[in-house]
Amino acid sequence: MALLLRIHPDNPNERHIKTVVQCLLDGGIIIYPTDTIYGLGCDIFNHKAIERIARLKNIDPAKAQLSFVCNDLSDLSKYTKSIGTPLYRLLKNYLPGPYTFILPASKEVPKILQSKKSTIGLRVPDNRIVKAITSATNHPILSASLPGEMVEEYTDPEMMFDNFERQVDIVIEGGIGGTIPSTIIDCTQEPYELVRKGLGEWEE
């Protein structure tokens, strides 16, 4: 049975954040708020947790559209191949914010997540709960969208708790979620390609 954990979106309780972080490090799965829609999260280094998310979504981990949710851009050099100054400036200009940037993955990305394309989606949400979690774990968390198309059900944490209480470990109640996902930009080739128009504005 999952735990429904109320965390204040503007002033996250440190004890509650510790509970979430311990859950992640122990291989747990969480449902958590971002600056767009609520998502599924786990520790990027826990294979069993990644496999649990893949089963929940009925997907192959290596083919899944899973993102690394980072605290800031300091994780770039570790999990992505070296990127040039213009791209770094672009990322710095748009992040934190409602964007997912597809970038070439480095060898530090866990093998279970390495696809043939060898890319990762990078997210730095503008959300204090997420920032507190990723700051405390000291490395990114893996993020996936919730299964299904019922976006309306994914705005209310109590409804999500009712739907997923047997499949996840913690549902964070951090306010009502949005209904529009992040904007996805593929930066693995030039010109950069808009893959999905979401909440974030993008000028090509």
Tell me: the pLDDT tens digits for 114-162? 766 689 999 999 999 999 999 999 999 999 999 877 767 789 999 999 9
The reply to whether omega before 147 is within 30° of 0 (cis) is no
Rounded (5°) CA angle 101-95-87: 55
The per-residue pLDDT for range 47-65, each reduced to its tens digit, is 999 999 999 998 887 777 7
Q: What is the pLDDT, as a whole number, of residue 116?
A: 61
In-domain check, residue 202 = no
Enclosing domain of residue 128:
3-196
- 123 residue type, one letter: R
Q: What is the pLDDT, as a whole number, of residue 161?
A: 95
What is the DSSP code (8-state) at residue 113? Answer: G
What percentage of the chain exceeds 70 in pLDDT?
A: 97
In-domain check, residue 44 = yes
In-domain check, residue 203 = no
pLDDT category at 22 given cuts 50, 70, 90 is very high
DSSP conformation letters of 29-92: -EEE--SSS-EEEEETT-HHHHHHHHHHHT--TTTS--EEE-SSGGGHHHHB----HHHHHHHH
Mean pLDDT of the chain, nearest integer: 92
Q: State the residue for tokens 């996840």.
A: 168
The burial class, CB within 10 Å (0-12 / 13-18 / 19+), for 195 is middle
CA distances 192 to 42, 70, 77, 189, 195, Å, are 29, 21, 20, 6, 9
Number of structural domains found in the chain: 1
Sign of CA pseudo-dihedral 107, 113, 116, 120: negative
Cβ atoms within 10 Å of 67's Cβ, excluding its own: 25
Nearest alpha-carbon partner for 123 in 106, 144, 147, 149 = 144
Cβ atoms within 10 Å of 194's Cβ, excluding its own: 14
In-domain check, residue 64 = yes
The pTM score is 0.94
What is the domain-level CATH number for residue 122? Answer: 3.90.870.10
Q: From CA 103, how far away is CA 80, in angstroms rounded?
A: 7
Q: Residue range 18-33: average pLDDT?
A: 98
Q: From CA 12, how far away is CA 34, in angstroms rounded?
A: 13
In-domain check, residue 28 = yes
In-domain check, residue 204 = no
Cβ atoms within 10 Å of 199's Cβ, excluding its own: 17
Q: What is the pLDDT, as a whole number, of residue 202?
A: 93
In-domain check, residue 140 = yes
In-domain check, residue 201 = no
β-sheet with 141-145: strand ranges across: 3-6, 170-173, 30-32, 39-43, 141-145, 67-69, 119-123, 99-104, 183-186, 193-196
The per-residue pLDDT for range 101-122, each reduced to its tens digit, is 999 999 888 888 876 668 999 9
